[in-house]
Amino acid sequence: SPSGRSYRYVNPQFYSQSSYYYTLIKTFVNISCLFYDFGGGK
């Protein structure tokens, strides 16, 4: 069906975009934790 074909075409792009944002958020959280540790908030 056309919707199935279009879903298969769009899905990898959506997956790579969402994993990109996931990595960005994870990196931001790790940096925030580093600043928190450096601030003496252990």
Helices and strands, counts by H and E, the chain? 1, 0
Range of 33's domain?
1-42
Q: pLDDT per residue over 1-42, tens digit each?
A: 445 555 555 556 666 677 788 888 899 998 888 888 777 765
> Tell me, what's the pLDDT at 15?
62
pTM over 0.75: no
At 19, is the secondary structure helix, strand, or coil? helix
Handedness of CA 23, 28, 32, 34 (dihedral sign): positive
- Number of domain units in the chain: 1
